[in-house]
């Protein structure tokens, strides 16, 4: 895919995380997004699963803040800073730092979506996941197949982590984090 697709996806993510619409992303925006997703799964934010997702989202926020050189508690990312971090750590290099920071978030989302408790996401659970994060797409079967790289009919945490980066690279068309 082209750089413009990657740029569009980074900009869309920024806009999605800017919960208060002030043109900057801060800790409160990430907290609000985590709360929205937890509630969309039908969970209470104070539940163990709700706290796990909130903590994981804030860990991902801390990653972005640290890479941008801002204070994670009091700072805010501009669109330019967010784009620079995305280019350097998601799109650029091998994405290993981003994958390490993202994994707890994906694990927490798997915990919320995994209704049968097998630690993986089946097609029905995938639909639940996408609805909870606000993705509306009629091509979920195609997306599931793209992400299911080992073709076993289940999505592992590793496959889902790789798929988030693949989305930003323009290789997968479903934003698993909803932005």
The pLDDT, as a whole number, for residue 138 is: 64
The pLDDT, as a whole number, for residue 24 is: 97
Q: Report in angstroms the alpha-carbon separations of 149 from 26, 71, 141, 164, 166.
A: 34, 37, 13, 13, 12
Superfamily holding 3-169: EF-hand (1.10.238.10)
Whole-structure pTM value: 0.91
Which among 126, 178, 179, 150 has a CA at the least distance from the CA of 14? 179
The pLDDT, as a whole number, for residue 15 is: 93
The pLDDT, as a whole number, for residue 95 is: 86
CA dihedral 45, 46, 49, 54 (to 10 degrees): 60
The pLDDT, as a whole number, for residue 1 is: 42
- Please say whether the beta carbons of 17 and 34 come within 8 A: no
List the pLDDT tens digit at each of the 179 positions of the chain: 448 888 999 999 999 999 899 999 999 999 999 999 999 999 999 999 999 999 999 999 999 999 999 999 999 999 999 999 998 988 877 888 899 999 999 999 999 999 999 999 999 999 999 989 988 766 777 889 999 999 999 999 999 999 999 999 989 888 999 87
């Amino acid at each position: 895919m082209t750089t413009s697709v990657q740029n569009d996806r980074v900009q869309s993510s920024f806009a999605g995380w800017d919960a208060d619409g002030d043109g900057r992303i801060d800790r409160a925006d990430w907290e609000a997004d985590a709360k929205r997703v937890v509630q969309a799964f039908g969970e209470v934010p104070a539940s163990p699963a709700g706290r796990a997702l909130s903590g994981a989202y804030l860990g991902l926020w801390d990653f972005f803040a640290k890479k941008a050189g801002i204070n994670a508690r009091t700072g805010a990312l501009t669109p330019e800073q967010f784009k620079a971090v995305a280019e350097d750590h998601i799109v650029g290099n091998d994405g290993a730092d981003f994958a390490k920071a993202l994994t707890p978030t994906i694990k927490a989302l798997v915990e919320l979506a995994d209704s049968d408790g097998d630690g993986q996401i089946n097609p029905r659970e995938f639909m639940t996941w996408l609805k909870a994060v606000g993705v509306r797409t009629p091509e979920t079967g195609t997306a599931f197949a793209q992400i299911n790289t080992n073709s076993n009919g289940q999505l592992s945490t590793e496959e889902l982590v790789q798929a988030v980066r693949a989305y930003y690279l323009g290789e997968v068309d479903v934003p698993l984090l909803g932005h």
